[in-house]
Structure 1
Amino acid sequence: MRRAMTITALIAAAGLMTACGGSGGGDDEGGKKGRTEQGRASSSKPASGVKDRTYEVTFEVDGEGSSSVYYNLDTNHSEQVTLPWKKSGELTLNSTERKVGITVSVVPGTVRLSNGQFAAAPCSITVDGKKVAKDPGGAKGKHMCEYTLR
């Protein structure tokens, strides 16, 4: 029962991340520029005392074998990967985005445990060299990692 609920939760999270996808834009650069330009165009004036800032974000998913991984950095992404997996990227937030906050997240797929059962893989998020989110995977935890940049 718990396994079915975990799989259902992962599928629902993946569906939500896909449905709430970014600007499209084709390649990664187009998507990044589109979201950043839209965010800047919508802010009428900068938040007082808050400057633009670029963050170095690293997602990690541990385990063995292969799994699907869903992550949200500049836009939503989905990949079939070989574990362990690591992905880094930069995200620049303007003053308005920093005031409100932008959430980055990673949802690991399932991996086979030593007892033969399937469970979510462990994940973590590192921002500017500091680990800010970690999930142990398995039957415990949220089965995803997320962090709000400000």
Structure 2
Amino acid sequence: MGGLFRYLLAASLVSMSLMSAGLTADSKPHRLAIQVDQNDPQVMNLALNNAANVIEYYRAKNEDVEVDIITYGPGLHMLRADTSPVQDRIKRLKELAFPGKVQFSACNNTKQGMEKAEGHAISVLSDATLVPSGVVRLMELQERGWSYVRP
């Protein structure tokens, strides 16, 4: 009877390990796209709060998460070097997140429009990544299964 018990125990352990491996393989990555399209410090801070809370939540669960804050239209001011009211918070969030796990996307269409209207070049923060179009970036991330939030 001892041999049968050991066999059943071993089969159960193998079965459980295969089930847990299957759960891990099937679990979807956590990815969040946050839209900022308003030149409003409250909205910008809310977006940063949302991102920090999501990062902390999954870090506490020892799970990976990626966040992309996409700015366009008047929201580009969030990432403009000369007008951003949240530059320090952006830097702190970049430091809080694991490298490469948070991105700040700045719409190049908006940047070019602002440069034309203002008659001078505009710089974005060094923590920002220039993307061709903020709206297209949001669309493409959602098409790839990213969750979407608009604060």
Query: TM-score with structure 2 length normalisation?
Result: 0.32
More strand by share: 1
Report which structure shows greater RCO (CA 8 Å, sep ≥6): 2
Larger helix proportion of the pair: 2
TM superposition score normalised by structure 1: 0.32
